[in-house]
Structure 1
Amino acid sequence: MRNFRRARHGGTSRIRLRSWAIAALVACTFVTGGGVATASRLADAVPAADVLADPGVSHAVPVSQLAPQIGAVFNGGLNGAHHCTASVVNSPGGDLIVTAAHCLGSTSDVFVPGYHDGNAPYGVWRLRRIVVDAQWSAGSDQDHDVAFAVVEPLNGRTVQSVVGGYALGIDQGTDSPVTITGYPQATQTPITCTNRISAYSGTQLRIYCTGFTGGTSGSPWVVGSGMVIGVIGGYQQGGYTADISYSVAFGASVKSLYERAVSV
């Protein structure tokens, strides 16, 4: 079946692993728990029937309520094609975004936080470096469909200093409701939805929220007001229908990927 969120493949170069000596420095920028340590913990957390029997209904986000940390990803510039969504995550350098690996084809893509109606209220941010897992680079492994990108400063400031950022949640399980916000290609403002999540497999999560069509890959899964525990992607690059979305469960591999991203 057609993947509603399919973006470009290829073009993302494998980044050489560098020293992890600064791991202690960045520890405060993500939150770890015990939620995705094993497949059985995931499978037992929330019955799959719960999420499928209680759909979350999406609605447009009023411009006055846009989260500045979330934005649209465009090819080449604001006049290019919008194809994905990303969000800022806290980092020592204040320059990091997270999205799905299948979203980022090259550093010619740009990130536009708070985008609406053709406007870029916080600027257009160019990518300096893309970091994906080696297993994604080698074979587009759906269990590694997560990417971080370092963005260039704009007017002497980092993106996090301008719009803020989310904490990165590692091993958080499926105990809390999740809000996803993303930019469909057919709209000029994002949509949002809150619902419970469940385990699709030992490495994948899913959520039932209506209307997350093409352009919403990479949309952050936010717990409470400030922690990202997933992004739309993974199975079928986020799902083969617009109403059920998937994410890689953020665990040890995503933590390692984050440490690579902030290691330069």
Structure 2
Amino acid sequence: MGIAVAAALVLAAPVSTAETETEAAAETAATATATAEVAQAAARTATATATDPVSVMKYTAKERKEALAYWTAARMKAVGKSVDLGPTGPKSKPYKGTPLKTVGRLFFVNANGADTWCTATAVKSANRSAVMTAAHCVRRGSSPGNTNILMVFAPGYSKGRTPHGTFAVRSAATPRAWQTASTNDIAALVVAADKKNRKLTDVVGGQKIAFNRAVGGTVSALGYSATRPQRGEVLLRCVGKAKKEQGMQAIPCDLTGGSSGGPWFADFDTATGKGVLVSVNASLDSLTPTKMYGEVLKATAKKVYDRAQNSS
């Protein structure tokens, strides 16, 4: 199932490619700068060849430094205040349990030059630096030049606090099928070490990830939805039975924009904060959502993850 098949809507951050969510405006001067940078990003060359099933974007040391400087605490708070996607639905509850160090907000400037965010998760990886999210949180589908910039990951974000710091994104891997045909909405990021030269999972740990797992069982989906009263400041959670639908998997859930890329955990224990990542939030069934869709993580998703975790 593609991202817009059967009335499913991409649930990017508050800025939606399905035109169902509201764009968050940056400050005038910052927007002008970001727009110029987006134009530069449009010319960015993928590191893989056209026959490679994985497409990788890289961010230079200069770009990473600019990203960390751009995303101040005030800017992080402001982007949530500028978006209101309506009341939080009855299926979405504030997460209560051991604080999740591994799950956080992924802030960036989108291809339109607007500040926005998704949700992402630190996972176990060979380089101790891999983060899983949705491909549409990295670039627009079927539009190779429309890539996001000034991207940072704030694990454990809560009510304006970044208790574990922020990590600039060094590279982003997506299926080439997403870049060319808007299919397979999964991405793996590699983040740079923090200001103390610590790698991500040395600071927050990493969740297990499973590939080619049979669809089914109870799943917890989490995300920083732009609905009120939370407005992206609080991690929300849906719990439901996963079912296979039209080539994807679905659970009852009414998380919306801003929750994109958030983890689907099987075998999730709120006492330990640990589970097994089996998908990420990708799309919704309607303007008033009742279902969340996520990819079934198969061979291509494994290649995306491996490209990230083996990146030095």
Q: Work out whether 1:158 is the aligned partner of 2:199.
A: yes
The equivalent of 1:26 in structure 2 is none
Q: 1:3 aligns with which of 5, 9, 12?
A: 9
Q: 1:132 aligns with which of 174, 184, 208?
A: 174
What is the CA-CA distance between 1:251 and the residue it aligns to?
A: 0.9
More relative contact order, 1 or 2 (CA 8 Å, 6+ apart): 1
Q: 2:119 aligns with which of 85, 107, 110?
A: 85
Q: Deviations over 1:204-263 (max 9, x none)?
A: 0001023x0110110100011321000011xxx444343310011001111111122223
Distance 1:15 1:205 in 2: 30
Percent identity at matched positions? 26
The equivalent of 1:28 in structure 2 is none
Instruction: Report matched runs for 1:1-264 at 5 Å.
Output: 3=9, 5-7=11-13, 14-16=46-48, 57-62=91-96, 65-75=98-108, 81-104=115-138, 105-141=147-183, 144-154=184-194, 155-185=196-226, 186-201=231-246, 203-210=247-254, 212-224=255-267, 225-233=274-282, 237-240=283-286, 241-264=288-311
TM-score by length of 1: 0.74
Specify the SS of the correspondent of 2:163: coil
CA contact (8 A) 2:105 2:155 kept: yes
2:308 aligned partner, one-letter code:
A
- Structure 2 unmatched ranges of 5 or more: 1-6, 18-40, 53-88, 139-146, 268-273
2:165 aligned partner, one-letter code:
G
Q: Deviations over 1:106-148 (max 9, x none)?
A: 351111111111110110110000101111111222xx11000
- Structure 1 unmatched ranges of 5 or more: 20-54
1:156 aligned partner, one-letter code:
N
CA contact (8 A) 1:183 1:191 kept: yes
2:261 aligned partner, one-letter code:
G
What is the CA-CA distance between 1:2 and the residue it aligns to?
A: 8.6
1:130 aligned partner, one-letter code:
A
Specify the SS of the correspondent of 1:170: coil
CA contact (8 A) 2:248 2:293 kept: yes
Aligned length: 218
2:152 aligned partner, one-letter code:
V
Specify the SS of the correspondent of 1:205: strand
What is the CA-CA distance between 1:193 and the residue it aligns to?
A: 1.8
Q: Summarize the Cα distance change of 1:2–1:205 in structure 2 as closer, same or farther, 3 Å threshold.
A: closer
CA contact (8 A) 2:154 2:167 kept: yes
What is the CA-CA distance between 1:4 and the residue it aligns to?
A: 6.7
Distance 1:94 1:251 in 2: 22
Distance 1:114 1:140 in 2: 30
Q: Deviations over 1:12-33 (max 9, x none)?
A: 863416x9xxxxxxxxxxxxxx
Distance 2:98 2:193 in 1: 25
Q: Deviations over 1:34-81 (max 9, x none)?
A: xxxxxxxxxxxxxxxxxxxxx98321124x7331110011126xxx84
CA contact (8 A) 1:103 1:218 kept: yes
Specify the SS of the correspondent of 1:73: strand
TM-score by length of 2: 0.64
